[in-house]
Amino acid sequence: MTDPSLQPSRQPWRWAVIALAVGVLAVAFAYVGGWLTPQRLSSRQIVNQLQAGGVHPGFRRNHAKGVCVAGYFESNGSAATYSKASVFAPGRTPVVGRFALPGGNPYAPDSSVPIRSFALRFTLPNGEQWRTGMNSMPVFPVATPQAFYDQMVATQPDPATGKPDPKRAGAFFAAHPETGAFLAWVKTAKPSASYVTETYEALNAFYFVDADGKRHAVRWEVTPEANDDAGTGPQAGDPDYLAQDLQKRIAQGPLRWHLRVTLAEPGDPTNDATKAWPADRPSIDAGTLVIESEQAQDSGPCRDINYDPTVLPSGIEISDDPLLPARSSAYAVSYLRRTREEAHFPGAPTPSSEHPQ
């Protein structure tokens, strides 16, 4: 008996459906790769611009200067109502982190920028990971990857002067009024004398997903217990005072921050990191981050970690913020370049192939 599915009258339709499915996949891959839209901004263009001021083989293209830290997160269970992620169940989760400065120069003086960054990788008991990269500023300057790229181009230092062209930079900021909140902050921001006294903001919005599948728009930050010299200036003549300060403090005992999660209300933007949510939004103290050790980044445990903010456990999801997928893609390009470079931290072990940045 003949299989009806192989009868001539039906077989062409089967092949047509298969061809259509393959065609859709091909178009999708082509679009993601930028092949159909050569004018579309790519992660390679972003990373190329990040390294326009010079390449330091083996180092990250951004946040190149840093130090590894390790410890644990002690959850108090308060966030478990909003997220089913096991990291929020009461108990400890191991953490590997990295303090760093923005920029691609691993030898930059610590006083060169007023911003510090803090990246964390939580390794959950079930093998999942949560990775997050935070900065010590209240908002991001721009809302889209294209604007970020355009900002880098507009503020790139002129080789003749070593400084950005004020007309070019001014034209960019005039055309991007969303940068106003960041510019107002940076006018009074000063390089702090310690990584330890800073509050670090995730800036992008995410969703916590509870046990019933309900999503809650959130942002998070880590706030320090130490605040003795917050906002003070650098040590005179010392370009590397942050790492030295960190060593001294850890030698005296563990360092602590509180993980605070802010819950959005309807209408709060989840796709725009230039806009802070109102200060009266409810906040949860989810637990304590404890840092117990530090190590140089050339041999420390953070060296081969990609702090991709889209690596999330079940119970946390990305929002519609367009910066998140762009960060993920650019981090991957940065990682692949630095780990292929022969000068990658001479004498250090061969990088692992786990996740890129």
Whole-angstrom Cα distance, residue 338 to residue 269? 35
Place of tokens 């061969």: 350
For residue 70, give the nearest of 298, 287, 254, 345 by alpha carbon. Answer: 254
Low-confidence ranges of the chain (pLDDT < 70): 1-39, 229-235, 342-357
- Annotated catalytic, 63? yes
Cβ-contact 230, 257 below 8 angstroms: no
What pLDDT does 37 receive?
41
Q: What is the pTM of this model?
A: 0.85
Element (DSSP H or E) covering residue 208: strand 206-209
Using H for helix, E for strand and C for coil, what is the string for 93-107? EEEEEEEECCCCCCC
- Catalytic residue (one of 56, 63, 176, 355): 63
For every residue of 110-152, DSSP letters joined together read GGG-S--EEEEEEE-TTS-EEEEEEESSSS-S-SSHHHHHHHH
